[in-house]
Amino acid sequence: MWVIIVYDINEKRVAKVLKYLRRYLNWIQNSVFEGELTYAELKKVKSGLKRLMNTQEDSVIIFSSSLSNDYKKEIIGLDKAKETQIL
């Protein structure tokens, strides 16, 4: 399953969310991750995010599609994933 996660997280918590998501998905732009997950992995990521977030202040949107090869991805300008090697 193809997944995109975008988030708007309070700066007190965002580093932990970034670190957590990097274990499962690819960072492609500020506050944007993308990648392939199984249903079980996605379930796990959701509960992990809920633990790290404050759901009264923070916002996460998860797009998923079972037809992974159907979507198209185009980059205009910088490819931040290539530009920025996250250590």
Of 22 and 68, the one with the shorter C-beta distance to a second copy is 68
Report how far residue 13's alpha carbon sits from residue 32's, in angstroms, rounded to the nearest whole number: 15
DSSP state of 84: -
Evaluate the CA torsion angle 42, 25, 6, 64 in order and state its sign.
Answer: negative
Longest CA–CA separation in the chain, Å: 36
Task: Tell the smallest beta-carbon distance from residue 65 to a second copy (Å).
Answer: 4
Residues at the interface with a second copy (CB under 8 A): 4, 6-8, 28-32, 46, 49-50, 53-67, 70-80
Minimum Å gap between C-beta 22 and a second copy is: 17
Q: Is 8 annotated as a binding residue?
A: yes
C-alpha neighbours within 13 Å on the C-beta side of residue 74: 1
Given the complex with a second copy, which of 18 and 28 has the nearer CB atom? 28
Shortest distance, position 31 Cβ to a second copy, whole Å: 7
